[in-house]
Amino acid sequence: MGQMRQMRQMGQMRQMGQMGQMGQAFPSHNSHASHYSHSSLGPGPSCSILLFCMKFTPAKTPIQSLTLEELQSKFREMGQPAYRAGQVLEWLYAKRVKSFSEMTNLPAGLRGQLDAEFGFDLLEPVRKLGSDDTTQKFLFKLADGSLIEAVLIPASPALYGEGSDRRTLCVSSQVGCAYGCKFCASGLDGFSRNLHAGEIVAQFLKIEELSGERINNVVFMGMGEPLANYDNLLRAITILNSPWGIGLGARHMTLSTSGLAPMIRKLADQPLQVRLAISLHGATDAVRNQIMPVNRKFPLAELLDACAYYCERKTQRITLEFILIEGINDSLEQATTLGKIARRLDAKINCIPYNAVEGLAWVRPSLRRQDAFMNALERTGADATIRREKGHDIEAACGQLRLQVKREESA
């Protein structure tokens, strides 16, 4: 992907990010929207996407996007007592009902009013893939026809060092991605739009419902760049974390970023103790530039400074993710430099053998090369693990199932 196109995409994404806030333009839930976002964009976003977003009237706000305070003030506006907000949230997150009509302690008229004003069922399951080690991948259709993925992983010991009873959900934060990392399926088809907070929260609710499992951890490592959808992301984290919402501890949430340095600093300044993972994938600018166009905007020195700032402000260690790609970033020199970076930040390193993506040329190094890399890392004294991908057989890396289904649809 050319640098010019990447810059264009980033500019568009910033504008889209501004429009994706609560109460502002949100693509209409109609079939034109679906057609437009899937067929007209080609391999990357075009200027027409901005017109598209402004042209359509905003759809109903998803009820799962609202915080307690917002619902309380909404009810006050409607001439209702503020305690109705607590009732609605209890139905949503404790009782997990699927419609306003089931909220039987609300007056019937109010249920009708809420139904007219707020969206409820946000995700339609389209396909599910399971693998032998019980990693399950879900493809959902959003109300505007866009496709997103979420993956339920039974255990992620390499990331968390916890027991195998932990279930981790990997959620998407955007439809597509504008950052175009060269190893990643999510960026291959460009960027469509930010997810609303409710669409992020709904991935959690829907997968607990479909799997019948309780989810213990959430990682923002699915499709999209979470820090490019900052406001919706923080809102979703608040809803997942709050006692009136899902009640999941902030330390059970990990946000992964390709390295938007200023946004890492912004995240460091807010009080939630979410964990941070950095998609590093290159230990020098020369190698990282080859893999991740974002590095030209926020080079390593700037990114690592922002990481150091995050570590200063928070009481937890960050994780550096490093996909091993043969002949690109798997040299012993890269291992040694990566080890030094991690030691300076007191960060953990999570190496992931590259998962081949159809249409992309790169390949996973042999086991022997992976081991040599890990040995070189260990010699630096860094705290490193290698994650032998769960769900390799179901194309679990982000964006791959969506890409496959979109290719099938257009064949």
Looking at residue 152, the DSSP 8-state letter turns out to be E
Rounded Cα gap, residues 137 and 398, in angstroms: 10
Residue from 27, 145, 187, 245 in contact with ligand SF4 (CB under 6 A): 187
Q: Give the nearest distance from C-beta 180 to ligand SF4 in angstroms.
A: 6
Query: Is residue 378 annotated as a catalytic residue, yes or no?
Result: no
By rule CB under 6 A, what string of x and - marks binding of each residue 277-306 to ligand SF4?
--x---------------------------
Q: Which is nearer to ligand SF4, 142 or 148 (CB)?
A: 148
Q: Are strands 383-386 and 319-324 parallel, antiparallel or unpaired?
A: unpaired
For residues 389-408, which are near ligand SF4 according to CB under 6 A?
398
Choose between 179 and 204: whose C-beta lies nearer to ligand SF4.
Answer: 179
Does the footprint of ligand SF4 cover residue 177 (CB under 6 A)?
yes
> Annotated catalytic residue: which of 102, 358, 398, 409?
398
Instruction: Pick the closest to residue 400 from 217, 204, 11, 135 (CA basis).
Output: 135
Q: How far apart are CA 140 and CA 128, in angstroms?
A: 9
Give the interface with ligand SAH as residue ranges (CB under 6 A): 183-184, 221, 225, 256-258, 279, 321, 323, 352, 354-355, 357, 397-398
Question: Pick from ligand SF4, ligand SAH, none: which does 26 bind, CB < 5 to 8 A by kind?
Answer: none
Our CB check for ligand SF4 shows the closer of 61 and 295 to be 295
H helix runs in 90-138, sequence order = 108-117
Of 53, 149, 184, 307, catalytic:
149
Give which of ligand SAH, ligand SF4, none residue 203 binds (C-beta under 5 to 8 Å, depending on kind): none
**CA 119, 120, 125, 130 torsion: positive or negative?**
positive
Binding residues for ligand SF4 restricted to 205-234, rule: CB under 6 A: 223-225
Active site residue 170: no
The answer to the question of residue 184 lying near ligand SF4 (CB under 6 A) is yes
Tell which residue, 239, 237, 299, has the closest CA to residue 267: 237
Residues 6+ apart with CB under 8 A from 195: 142, 148, 172, 173, 174, 175, 224, 229, 232
Query: Does 310 interact with ligand SF4 (rule: CB under 6 A)?
Result: no
Long-range contacts, 81-88 (Cβ 8 Å, 24+):
84/110, 86/244, 88/63, 88/114
Query: What is the H or E stretch that residue 86 is in?
Result: helix 83-89
Kindly list the catalytic residues: 149, 398
Which residues make up the interface to ligand SF4 (CB under 6 A)?
177, 179-181, 184, 186-187, 223-225, 258, 279, 398
